[in-house]
A and B are shown apart, each in its own frame.
Chain A
Amino acid sequence: SQQGEEDPQALSIQEGENATMNCSYKTSINNLQWYRQNSGRGLVHLILIRSNEREKHSGRLRVTLDTSKKSSSLLITASRAADTASYFCATVPLYSAGSYQLTFGKGTKLSVIP
């Protein structure tokens, strides 16, 4: 599997429910970032978590990072129809060379049903 793989590939929930997406990666990282992509649009940065952090919050978003398991999760609480989008995790490697390269997973397609 590739660096930054999201799970599940697709998720459908009712408005008001919580949505949890997971991301696994292979190599040591400097940081991990989550992005949202609405259909046919560009990427919007949601949140960044550094390798020495375990949890971070931003509004209705909660991100956790477990470096021992090389995994992260994104929780969206009280989902809204407007949260319908694809969500990608992206990692930045720890080593200095190539530390600017984001490695993306294939994403989780979230559908929030009104």
Chain B
Amino acid sequence: NAGVMQNPRHLVRRRGQEARLRCSPMKGHSHVYWYRQLPEEGLKFMVYLQKENIIDESGMPKERFSAEFPKEGPSILRIQQVVRGDSAAYFCASSPADLGYGYTFGSGTRLTVV
């Protein structure tokens, strides 16, 4: 019973490139959340998705960032034309429902923009 799987664990991109972060939720979980953690900070909510639906993207920057959770396959967080300020740890969590509890977090993807 694998937990939330995120890959890659570490990602290095040059300024202007695209970054794709993947998240496979726990088995039986249909709700996925993305959070970003800047150095020495807590996690900040970015987006909440269910299969084929974006429920709440209020925490996502308006430009360059997008997220999807297709019917088949993992959830993808996509950052286009990365800048140094995008360097952070990106965590995915999943839950069986949006009850406000029961979250399981992945180990995160550490993005470094050089």
Contact = CB atoms under 8 A, between A and B. Distances in A.
Interface of A: 4, 30-31, 33, 35, 40-45, 48, 88, 90, 92, 98-107
Contacts of A41: 107-108
Interface of B: 4, 31, 33, 35, 40-45, 48, 56, 58-59, 91, 93, 95, 98-101, 103-108, 110
A101 B56 contact: yes
Nearest to A43: B105
Contacts of B56: 98, 100-101
A88 B105 contact: no
Contact of B101 (A42, A48, A105): A48
B48 A101 contact: yes
A40 B31 CA distance: 24
B98 A104 contact: no
B111 to A, nearest CB: 14
28 contacts: A4-B42, A33-B101, A33-B103, A40-B110, A41-B108, A42-B107, A43-B105, A90-B42, A92-B100, A98-B56, A98-B58, A99-B98, A99-B99, A100-B33, A100-B48, A100-B98, A100-B99, A100-B100, A101-B48, A101-B56, A101-B59, A102-B35, A102-B45, A102-B103, A104-B42, A104-B44, A105-B42, A106-B42
